[in-house]
Every structure is written in structure tokens, then in C-alpha cells.
Amino acid sequence: MRTTYRMRPGRFLGILAAGLIILGIAAIFWAVGLPSAVVAVFAVLGGLVVLAGLWILARPPVLLRLGSDTINVRGVKTGWTDITEVGKVRSTHGEALALRTKYKDGTILVPLNWLAPARVGKLETDVRDRLNQAHGYTIWDGTAGDPHDKAE
């Protein structure tokens, strides 16, 4: 089962705002009587930027994908069995989930501010569950387990 986490749409409101500003400049150029070619260039450019902003707001970029065997964070694909430690760290983008791998310099950061706040808890639960499954761990329910079970 694959789970996709997209970036928070509010991060991209600036693109829509920039397009509206360019359209406003086109309206000002039209009002002061500049040549229609200049007005048309700004109007088309502003319209394209507004459309791009609306598209990105409707479908924000993918931050990470969780698969059954791998995790893909912004194009960096890593196997669940290669991850040795997970923790929260401070980064230049605020709090981030650090996925430390068994490879030298193999830490992958997932900035939590880039996600919608409601999705952060779900991401943490998904990562824990998939790591437990990849490494063969089970959540202890308080009973004595089978002697062949691995400890969590």
C-alpha cells in the first residue's frame, strides 16, 4: 500500500499573488494608455502565472511517498530496512523528521512545516508502523509472546 504526502498548499499562495500583481500592472498600463502589445504581454504573463498558482494550490507537489518496501522523499528512495533511526531535529525549515540510514551521510530530512498540521501525526504513525513491519517488530499488547517473536 502506498501513501502520498503532499506539501501544504498555503506555501504556494505567493505564486497566485504574483500572478494577480502582474495582472494589476497590466491594468495600470492599460489605464495610462501604454501600447496594447505591452498590456497584452503583461496580461498573458499574469494570466499564466495565476493559472499555474491555481494548479499548484489544487495539486501541491509531493513531499514523500511511503511504499511497502521503500520511502521516497523528494526523489531520494530508501528501503525501510536501511533506516536505522528516526527522530525529530531542528533544521533551517523548522522541526523535521530525520531518517538516519546505515550509510555514511545518509540522513534524510522531512520538514514537518511543509505538511498540513493534521497530517504530521499520521505521518509519524505511518513511519513507525512501516519501520516496525520492515524490521519484524510488533507492538506489545501486555501478554507473553511467542518465543520466536522479535522484541520491539
Q: Look up residue 128 and give its three cell numbers.
A: 513507525
In a domain, 87, yes or no: yes
Question: pLDDT tens string for the chain (152 positions)?
Answer: 789 999 999 889 999 999 999 999 999 999 999 999 999 999 999 999 999 999 999 999 999 999 888 999 888 888 888 888 888 899 888 899 998 888 877 888 999 999 988 899 899 989 988 888 887 776 666 666 666 666 55
CATH number for 79: 2.30.29.30
In a domain, 140, yes or no: no
* Structural domain for 32, as ranges: 7-58
Residues forming a β-bridge with 28: none
Q: Do 28 and 86 reside in the same domain of the chain?
A: no
pLDDT of amino acid 43: 97
pLDDT of amino acid 147: 65
What is the spatial distance between Cα 113 and Cα 41, in angstroms, rounded to a whole number?
36
In a domain, 107, yes or no: yes
Supply angle C-alpha 85, 87, 89, rounded to 5.
135
With cell 523548522, the residue in question is: 94
Q: Are 80 and 134 in contact (CB under 8 A)?
A: yes
pLDDT of amino acid 1: 78
Domain tally, the chain = 2
pLDDT of amino acid 144: 61
